[in-house]
Amino acid sequence: MTVTSDRTSDRTTDRTTDLPPAPAPAPFPTGTQRLPMAKALNLGMRRALANDPRALLMGEDIGRLGGVFRVTDGLFAEFGEDRVVDTPLAESGIVGTAIGLALRGYRPVCEIQFDGFVFPAFDQITTQLAKMHYRSQGRLTLPVVIRIPFGGGIGAVEHHSESPEALFAHTAGLRVVSPSTPADAFTMIQQAIASPDPVIFLEPKGRYWEKGDVDLDAPLPAPHGGTSDLDHARVVRPGTDVTVVAYGPTVATALKAADAAAAEGTSLEVVDLRTISPLDTATVAESVRRTGRCVVVHEAPVLYGTGAEVAARITEECFYHLQAPVLRVGGFHTPYPVAKLEHDYLPSLDRLLDAVDRTLAF
């Protein structure tokens, strides 16, 4: 089958005529089901592969093994080795190959096995993937998704619990997003694959096995550019006293803090950023104008972290509404510690509630 590209340059003409016939897909589950995030991601990618012959997965051990976290389990058997590609242990090569595939009309979805393994590919991501569209004055697009299991809480060894989101958010030309629930994981991975932009898709691996309701009949995003929901934060718990801003793995921590604070008579509004770049300042600012106070929480180090950008923007946008400085809670300015110390490093319920108490004390 020949797929005609809508791009303006013949240098990006789709080359999908060499794809083998797609196998008959197994029936897709329907209705609302309670699923762990890992399974929701699996089904989101399965739907994307079934609906778009240009989409393919690539990464280390993602095929027959199903990935180290089994997120791609079963997809190799259903779609074959040309659509679910086991790659060498070479992250720079994975991303470089994905860039070439994208220039020829494919939609590669790369898995970086662990967050700390992304750095060998950092050059390809920041100097090629992020810049090609701008460099070509919009003539070239690179619809590449890079899935990165990130964050801590799993008792892993060094280089397996990093939070590198600020490095990518600082690079113009990349979308940086992170789901916090199985429902968002299911829809956001499909939106990322449909996006014409490169997407860094950060999966909170410490939440892979936490379950939530997923609407498997949710409508698909549009084939080209159906990505508007990727641009928006969401209020996941209304409140009146303090806005708590979180994303990825710390949204669950923020919701637990809201429960604990409510028992003491304090109402926390929890905002799930969902998108780190571009940052949905409007949704956060609207919340802060109501509450007058803001605390930002993330696992990454506080120094030069995402929370610093949120704090700066909210101070600019809401200066006359703020009743206290914007406070930040996060990791310390040290390398990620050994497993037995990680719970002292990660932002805990107590540390977040302490920040809430401090902002209310002003």
Domain that holds residue 35: 19-230
pLDDT of residue 23: 56
Q: Does the annotation count 160 as an active-site position?
A: yes
Is the pLDDT confidence value at 228 over 60? no
* Chain centre to alpha carbon of residue 190: 12
Q: What CATH number should be reported for the domain holding residue 353?
A: 3.40.50.920
Average pLDDT over residues 78-104: 96
Answer whether 151's CB lies under 8 Å from 161's CB: yes
Would you tell me how many other CB atoms lie within 10 Å of the CB of residue 33? 17
Average pLDDT over residues 230-257: 96
Whether residue 286 sits in one domain with residue 198: no
Is the pLDDT confidence value at 185 over 80? yes
DSSP 190: H
Is the pLDDT confidence value at 173 over 90? yes
Q: Per the structure block, which two tokens stand in for 113? A: 């096995």
Whether residue 180 sits in one domain with residue 260: no
pLDDT of residue 24: 61
Whether residue 354 sits in one domain with residue 225: no
Catalytic member of 159, 160, 232, 333: 160
Higher-scoring residue by pLDDT: 113, 22:
113
Cβ contacts of 7 within 8 Å, gap of 6 or more: 13, 139, 140, 141
Domain boundary among 189, 208, 230: 230
Average pLDDT over residues 13-17: 49
- Cβ density class 85-124: b for 16+ within 10 Å, e for less: bebeeebeebbbbbbebbbebbbbbbbbbbbbbbbebbeb
pLDDT of residue 360: 97
Query: Domain for residue 252, yes or no?
Result: yes
Max CA pair span of the chain:
65
Domain boundary among 230, 263, 286: 230
Is the pLDDT confidence value at 91 over 60? yes
Q: How many domains does the chain have?
A: 2
pLDDT of residue 6: 39
For CA atoms 44, 47, 48, 54, give the dihedral sign: positive
Query: Domain for residue 127, yes or no?
Result: yes
Q: At what angle do helices 37-51 and 182-194 cross, to 10 degrees?
A: 30
When pLDDT is cut at 50, 70 and 90, the band that residue 38 belongs to is very high
User: How buried is 154 (Cβ within 10 angstroms: 0-12 exposed, 13-18 middle, 19+ buried)?
Assistant: middle
Domain boundary among 171, 200, 230: 230
